[in-house]
Structure 1
Amino acid sequence: MQNPITYLTEHPCSTQSLSESGIAEIRAHYLNVVLPIWRHAGFNAAMGLPFEAISSEDHMPLPPKRYRAMACARQLFVFSEIGDLTHAATLFASLRRYFYDGQNGGWFYSVDENGAPLERQKDLYTHAFVVFACAHYARISGTKAAFDLVDETAKLIEARFATGDGLLNAEVSEDFSATQTGPLQNPLMHLAEAWLAAREATGDSTYDVRLAALLRSVARTFVDEATGCIAELPIGSMDNRIEPGHQFEWFFLCMGSDNPAFVSAGLDRRLARAFDFAERHGVDERSGAVYAALDESGSVIDSTQRIWAQTEYLRALATRGVAADVLGAQIERYRRRFLHARGWVESRSEDGAVSRADMPSTTAYHLATAYASLPR
């Protein structure tokens, strides 16, 4: 079996000589500031669901208009990996209670403030995170129902999202009868992440087969051969773009998992070039912050700096095994620009102004996966 991707107890990188102060500080911030938010102020105990977002000023939840299955799944992953299986069990029960479609199968995108299905379409991104989170919860807790949901959802994805040419649609109708959005990079990337997690949890080599087929399709359809980058839309689409954060994320999935399917698909060589392209064109020299999007030539087309892209850059740097002083300097720039005593800054503009002031429940997933990849 390939080397597993692990999150809160081990790391796949090789850098060992880094001074630990910066890493210890951001990990302590995660444990002592971020996680308590989602156990208490950010958690709707009456419904058993995390609020979508809270205020960064006083941690008051924003008025709930919906609750997303993906957000619940990400929190399930976070609390499973930290070992809080009591809270994780609550989240797992809520995921099944509110979001499972007992009539058509699969998972609703969201429910309203009272827990009734709201956005009823079936999207691949949500289903990928259900597999990912339930796989982690199953591996750590041994819960049979979680293993069963991993298997059931994986088979449903193959049967109901398939395009017929090896790819998977991003969104279909409630009853799976109509395609609403064709293949997109981001849900396919998270499905690769989900297949890796499911393989690790179950030991079932079927997930290796699924991953290999997925990666061949991505390499064939989304790779910009000039740069090695994986574009957001199929190559040749109008208004396509390259997100540096996703290049770093793909780089970690490839190099961190050491799964031979990436090599077979030729993605290891391409993603090494994609890392260089994204770092050269997609990281602000002054602040060290990662931009949101580039065009195929490397010009910045969206200079927003979102925290998730910063964490993916840290994770990719650590996985690449850069010099300790390089990684340490980037951690410090990240800490100063995006973390504060009450939590974090979700996004900034290029000039440093806060462009999103609230703190969404989904971000804890990005922090957990990045920090776990840093040296200990």
Structure 2
Amino acid sequence: MSHPISSTPSVPFGPDDAWLDAECRRLLDFGRRVVHPTGGAAWLDDDGAPDLSRPVHTWITSRMVHVFGLGALMGVEGSASIATAALAGLRTTLRDPEHGGWFGSVDAGGAPVEETKACYAHAFVMLAGSTAVVAGLPGAAPLLEEATDVFLERFWDDSLGRVADEWDRAWTAPLPYRGLNSSMHSVEAMLAVGDATGDRAWHDRAARIAEMVVDLAAAHEGRLPEHFGPDWSPDLELNRDRPDDPFKPYGATVGHGLEWARLLLHLEATLGDSAPAGLLDTSRLLFDRAVADGWDVDGAPGFVYTTDWSGEPVVRTRMHWVAAEATAAAATLHRRTGEEGFALQSAEWWDYVVEHLRDTERGSWHHELDTANQPAATVWPGKPDLYHAVQATLLPRLPLAPSLASAVALSASA
């Protein structure tokens, strides 16, 4: 049975609830062939067909468990079986049976391609596990228990309130790099785990990372450093020679400023009076800086991918996930403040999504556009990711807390 989501009024001026619901279901329909024969989720091509020449990635598998778990909670036919099949890949193929934790990716035969144990991927395993638990999927509870145990033992540094980023396969030593991207997705996962389990210590851990982000935003005028040394000193020049790196690009990442702006408000709503000071002010700072630096700054609409530390664009290609996070951040700020300007911005960016990113012929959204807003495949060939787009269709219709799976479950039961 399909369960519409209508727990709170949607953002005015933009797409209405019916359109957002239909778009969410259209996106999920695109991903129906995602289950890989080896286990986990396949990389999808432009038509939604599995590209079996590519490895099976833990982060993609986890995101697909998450979005189809949300689909199951919404009553979208077939979603529970897809999420369960992808979840099985996390329990078997992608899991390291010798040392524990999860490989970054495996090949079609199940042999590890990326043996490094990354916080980024493990945070998404926690998100997948928490959504699967809320959705009541088989095998979800032991997966989430293992994922949280590994995270606390290997990645969480309780003395600093921060996360380590990468380990070697055997967990002999953490690698020296520290990153804000893994920190960001750890916050997202911590909020979800806390909501799914009722263990509020996860929310408190998320708050400690957020305090670091508040300080970084103030120190760098809203352009967050992404890369750090082992002592958490910012490395502002990392990958200057590879500025379009898909996970560690040089400079300030516009979409991450928007994503952090949203997450800080989810954390504030979750913690209430015990939330760290300055979350709303920092959310505004990050949002305003990302919009000023990134939106419509080079002669064509769209958000550039990255800028240097003065705000000058570096990588000008348009990534679909940045526009998705922009609509969601604006909707979140509108819900928090009631200010009409945020609703107008969200509507403007949805217009951009519909005109340039939404692929009505082959499905889903184009993942990457060039500076003329034509489909490109420099960084993201194919359409492997439904996570940002699906969430963008849900967030305007839900309260700031609890996190998505718990909020969808509450809405479906209302």
TM class, shorter-length: 0.7 to 0.9
1:130-153 deviation per Cα after TM superposition (whole angstroms, max 9, x unaligned): 00111011012165x423332332
Task: Give the residue type in structure 2 aligned to 1:73.
Answer: S
Aligned residues: percent identity? 24
Does the residue aligned with 1:43 lie in a helix, a strand or coil?
A: coil
Tell me if structure 1 keeps the 8 A contact 2:368–2:375. yes
Deviation, 1:197, is 0.3
Partners of 1:180 and 1:11 lie apart in 2 by 44
Partners of 1:204 and 1:358 lie apart in 2 by 39
In structure 2, the residue matched to 1:340 is 359
Partners of 2:95 and 2:171 lie apart in 1 by 14
In structure 1, the residue matched to 2:246 is none
In structure 1, the residue matched to 2:295 is 283
Identify which of 254, 258, 263 aligns with 1:244: 254
Deviation, 1:353, is 3.2
Q: Which runs of 5+ in 1 are unaligned?
A: 1-7
Deviation, 1:116, is 2.2
Between the two structures, name the one with larger relative contact order (CA 8 Å, sep ≥ 6).
1
In structure 2, the residue matched to 1:73 is 62
Q: Aligned residue pairs: how many?
A: 360
Partners of 2:11 and 2:20 lie apart in 1 by 17
Q: Structure 1 pair 229/268, CA: closer, same or farther in 2 (3 Å)? A: farther
Identify which of 9, 15, 25 aligns with 2:5: 9
Partners of 1:162 and 1:156 lie apart in 2 by 9
Task: Give the residue type in structure 2 aligned to 1:64.
Answer: S
* Superposed CA RMSD: 2.7
Does residue 1:353 correspond to 2:374, yes or no? yes
Partners of 1:17 and 1:217 lie apart in 2 by 33
Partners of 2:43 and 2:14 lie apart in 1 by 36
In structure 2, the residue matched to 1:195 is 190
Task: Give the residue type in structure 2 aligned to 1:39.
Answer: R
In structure 2, the residue matched to 1:148 is 142
Does the residue aligned with 1:174 lie in a helix, a strand or coil?
A: coil
Does the residue aligned with 2:325 lie in a helix, a strand or coil?
A: helix
Partners of 1:333 and 1:59 lie apart in 2 by 22
Tell me if structure 1 keeps the 8 A contact 2:40–2:87. no
Task: Give the residue type in structure 1 aligned to 2:308.
Answer: D
Task: Give the residue type in structure 2 aligned to 1:298.
Answer: G
Partners of 1:122 and 1:104 lie apart in 2 by 10
Tell me if structure 2 keeps the 8 A contact 1:11–1:374. no
1:209-228 deviation per Cα after TM superposition (whole angstroms, max 9, x unaligned): 322333334445x4352413
Q: Tell which deviates more after alignment, 256-265 or 177-186.
A: 256-265
1:259-295 deviation per Cα after TM superposition (whole angstroms, max 9, x unaligned): 3389416443222111111111111155441111112
Tell me if structure 2 keeps the 8 A contact 1:231–1:242. yes
Does residue 1:36 correspond to 2:29, yes or no? yes
Partners of 1:36 and 1:64 lie apart in 2 by 22
- Report the TM-score, using the length of structure 2 for normalisation: 0.79
Partners of 1:217 and 1:273 lie apart in 2 by 15
Partners of 1:99 and 1:146 lie apart in 2 by 15
Does the residue aligned with 1:118 lie in a helix, a strand or coil?
A: strand
Matches within 5 A, 1:178-257: 178-219=173-214, 222-223=216-217, 225-234=219-228, 236-239=234-237, 241-257=251-267
Does residue 1:94 correspond to 2:106, yes or no? no
Q: Which runs of 5+ in 2 are unaligned?
A: 73-78, 238-249, 335-339, 399-414
In structure 2, the residue matched to 1:3 is none
Partners of 2:371 and 2:54 lie apart in 1 by 30
Partners of 1:241 and 1:10 lie apart in 2 by 39
Tell me if structure 2 keeps the 8 A contact 1:134–1:146. yes
Task: Give the residue type in structure 2 aligned to 1:9.
Answer: I
Q: Tell which deviates more after alignment, 124-133 or 204-213.
A: 204-213
Deviation, 1:251, is 1.1
Partners of 1:193 and 1:97 lie apart in 2 by 24
Partners of 1:19 and 1:275 lie apart in 2 by 18
Deviation, 1:59, is 4.2
Tell me if structure 2 keeps the 8 A contact 1:228–1:271. no
Q: Structure 1 pair 204/371, CA: closer, same or farther in 2 (3 Å)? A: same
1:71-100 deviation per Cα after TM superposition (whole angstroms, max 9, x unaligned): 111100011001122221111112111111
1:336-358 deviation per Cα after TM superposition (whole angstroms, max 9, x unaligned): 11012212211112222322174
In structure 2, the residue matched to 1:260 is 271
Partners of 1:17 and 1:165 lie apart in 2 by 41
Identify which of 350, 353, 368 aligns with 1:331: 350
Partners of 2:64 and 2:208 lie apart in 1 by 29
Partners of 1:232 and 1:177 lie apart in 2 by 25
Deviation, 1:24, is 4.2
Deviation, 1:314, is 0.4
